[in-house]
Structure 1
Amino acid sequence: MTKHRRVVAIVDDDLRLLESLEDLLESAGYLARSFSSAGSLLSSGLSGLDALITDIGMPGMDGFELRDFVKKMRPDLPVFLITGRHEIAEQHNAQDISGCFRKPFDAQVLLAALANALRDREMEGNYET
Structure 2
Amino acid sequence: MNTKARATVAVVDDDLVVLESVSDLLESAGYAALTFSSANALLRGEALQAIDCLISDICMPGLDGWEVMALAHQQRPLLPIILFTADDQAARMTRSMPLARDVHALFRKPFDAQALLSAIADALEPRR
TM-score by length of 1: 0.88
| Structure (1/2) with the larger helix percentage | 2
**What is the match of residue 24 of structure 1?**
25
Where in structure 2 are the equivalents of 1:1-129 lying within 5 Å? Answer: 5-45=6-46, 46-93=48-95, 95-96=100-101, 97-120=103-126, 122=127
How well do the aligned residues superpose, as a CA RMSD in angstroms? Answer: 1.3
Secondary structure at the aligned position of 1:47 is classed as helix
Secondary structure at the aligned position of 2:50 is classed as coil
The higher relative CO (CA closer than 8 Å, separation ≥ 6) is in: 2
Gaps spanning 5+ residues in structure 2: where?
Answer: none
Residue 67 (structure 1) shift: 0.6
Deviations 1:20-76 (A, max 9, x none): 000000000000000000000011221111000001111110111001111121011
Residue 93 (structure 1) shift: 2.5
TM-score by length of 2: 0.89
Gaps spanning 5+ residues in structure 1: where?
Answer: 124-129
Q: Counterpart of 1:9 in structure 2: which amino acid?
A: A
- The aligned length equals 120
Task: Measure, in 1, the Cα distance between the counterparts of 2:32 and 2:64.
Answer: 24
| Amino-acid identity (%) | 49
Task: Measure, in 1, the Cα distance between the counterparts of 2:94 and 2:37.
Answer: 23
